[in-house]
Chains A and B, each alone.
Chain A
Amino acid sequence: MNIGITDRNTDIVDRNADIANRDADIVDKSKGVENDVLKVEHLSVSFTQYGRGLRRRTLHAVEDLNLSVRAGEIVAVAGSSGSGKSLLAHAVMGILPYNANMDGTVYYDGEILTKERAKRLRGREIVLVPQSVSYLDPLMKIGPQVTKGKNDAATREKSRRVLAGYGLSEDVEEKYPFQLSGGMIRRVLIATAVMETPKLVIADEPTPGLHPEAAKRVMGHFREIADTGAGVLLITHDLELALSAADRITVLYGGRTVGEAAAADFLCEEKLEHPYMKALCRSMPKNWNWDGYKLCDSGEILEYMRKEYGR
């Protein structure tokens, strides 16, 4: 037998084995995914920008981001501003701006979430709770915004019930967004989410501008939603809030996943693996000690991250 041919045959066998392995992988994954409402794998979001003249450049906003959310669980995604947190939400829902390119795989309920599927599910099973009053139409009254303009008795009854559940009286429906306080707006935004029966709630910075008491109350609302069996993805830059509200925390840096840990692990530096997460843990006011020396290495860690993550 010719040696070359044998080689090629083994090659083919190898490749077949590879394919078989990959198939097994996929099967495995779908098993693992079973419990996950949302699983994001190797997500990248990049923008094509026109620089000076006609030169095009690609800006990577999110790179190789991984995370998962199980049913009944709150997973916090924490990261500094500019770490691609909001883009993650928009990518999952398929509402990225037109000049954005997305790569990677998003599984929802065990199946790949294609753009078409996302379009079908968003606003029904997958809902977004945005961050501020600017997400409400400034010239439309609250009532029709909550009901999406549906005027049948059942929808109106439901919106009445939902708003009342958040302590918002009937006359709020007749108000315009600019007439409500920040806290009321936040509750209206959460109310829009539970107008449906969501399986996945993506909350994009739901608390800034609220005092700690109100923020805690808002977090309580998300816990209630999670307790109904929905997965909640909480996007925030407030690590302390994330610790108090979430079950697990995924830390992002420069659009990439640094690591993931149970919320409880953040109370104990030794349980964390990545130096950035250790540093975050140390930076928490609770973990400060009086001589303050542990704070001093923040410069070092940032330098390290810049080298590792390239930004």
Chain B
Amino acid sequence: MTQKTGKLKFIGKQAVRMAVLLFLASVFAFALLTVSPVDPLQTNVGQTALGSMSPEQIEKLKAYWGAGVPPVKRYLSWAAAFIRGDMGISLLYRRPVAAVIAEKLANSALLLFSAWLISGALGFLMGILAGKRRGGLADRIVTGVSLVIAGTPAFWIGMVFLMIFAVQLKLFPIGLSVPIGVAADEVTLADRLYHAVLPAAALSVTGISQIALHTREKMIEVMESDYVLFARARGESETAVILRHGLRNILLPAMTLQLSSVSEIIGGSVLIEQVFSYPGLGQAAVTAGLGADVPLLLGITVITAAIVFLGNMTANILYGVVDPRIREGAMRG
């Protein structure tokens, strides 16, 4: 097999995988919405308003929200449009879904990316500190903190952060992504960053424990390995052992883990954005879900699933590129 056909085959395989994943994710999200007890008319129009409407008006509204159309038909018509590149019109925002998602994703991107980066870097460092000496003081502190964080819901951390840093210390705003009462074109980048600090911090904290505990585990394994023993026997200092052998051997699994933990950051952002009233993708997902906005929810589901899939795929590719055992092995095979 030549290199080129190998590459094509790989790309083809990944594309099929992604298609299957997106299909299943959208079906699942749609099924959940269909069985949800939320009645779009009751929720979005309200009982009183409905009572004062004529039957014709109610019929029109029913048609707008798609009530009464068989679920399979509704899904298929959405899917057919989606494949053609049309994500539909959001029923709540009354704008194209693509535009809504683009705007919300732009808002969330800063939050998601900084939280992903900070939790990765911080968790990695904590893991090294803890794993350097199993059972030491640093290990006990890091393990304890990580387990507590892992057992704490993200929204609760968000609320605690709000109470301490926004309400009591008044260091940060209590919510939203821009200051209240300022025209949209007068909002500066500094304003946006200032508003993103607290939700990003809360989101980072929730992502730390997994990477810290995994890095710790891997670091312990490395520090108790034969090759570290031999490095010590050859007079290499502890610092040299950690820098030369430790980092080299734990960086790859840590990077892989962090890339595949994108899903957790996105999942956490749904809760965190709700707590901080941060108008991002997560909040839009909650709004769409509670308001039975099928096109928007399916759009968000598919886009986030694709982001998660790309994260995992990058991890896979990275492994092949960076790890010589896989890289050279693949060359030979």
Contact = CB atoms under 8 A, between A and B. Distances in A.
Interface string A179-200: 1000000000000100000000
Nearest to B240: A149
B232 A95 contact: yes
The interface size bin for chain A is: 20 to 34
Given A134-B227, A176-B324, A176-B325, A140 B234 contact: no
Contacts of A135: 226-227, 229-230
Contacts of A90: 229, 233
Nearest to A177: B227
Contact of A136 (B230, B232, B240, B244): B230
Interface residues of B, number: 23
A135 B233 CA distance: 11
B234 A128 contact: yes
A138 B249 contact: yes
Main secondary structure, interface of A, reads loop
B214 to A, nearest CB: 18
Contacts of B226: 130, 132, 134-135
B183 to A, nearest CB: 55
Interface stretch (A57-65, A119-127, A258-266): A119-127
Nearest to B251: A139
Contacts of B229: 90, 95, 130, 135
Given A176-B324, A179-B328, A137 B234 contact: no
Nearest to A128: B233
Contacts of B244: 137, 140, 149
A130 B244 CA distance: 19
Contacts of B325: 138-139, 176, 178
Contacts of B232: 95, 122
Contacts of A134: 225-227
A176 B233 contact: no
B224 to A, nearest CB: 8
B227 A93 contact: no
Contact of B230 (A97, A130, A139): A130
* Residue from B226, B234, B236, B252 whose CB has the most chain A CB atoms within 10 Å: B234
B192 interface: no
Given A128-B230, A179-B328, A137 B245 contact: yes
Contact of B234 (A127, A132, A176, A179): A127
B234 A139 contact: no
A95 B233 contact: yes
B234 A122 contact: yes
Given A95-B232, A95-B233, A134-B226, A139 B328 contact: no
Interface string A79-101: 00000000000100101011000
A118 B133 CA distance: 21
A84 B329 CA distance: 37
A69 B245 CA distance: 33
A122 B252 CA distance: 31
* Residue from A137, A176, A178 whose CB has the most chain B CB atoms within 10 Å: A137
Contacts of B224: 97
A192 B249 contact: no
A136 B234 CA distance: 12
A143 to B, nearest CB: 13
Interface of A: 90, 93, 95, 97-98, 119, 122-124, 127-128, 130, 132, 134-140, 148-149, 176, 178-179, 192
28 contacts: A90-B229, A90-B233, A95-B229, A95-B232, A95-B233, A98-B133, A123-B233, A124-B235, A127-B234, A128-B233, A130-B226, A132-B226, A134-B225, A134-B227, A135-B226, A135-B227, A136-B230, A137-B245, A137-B248, A138-B249, A138-B325, A139-B248, A139-B323, A139-B324, A139-B325, A140-B245, A176-B324, A176-B328
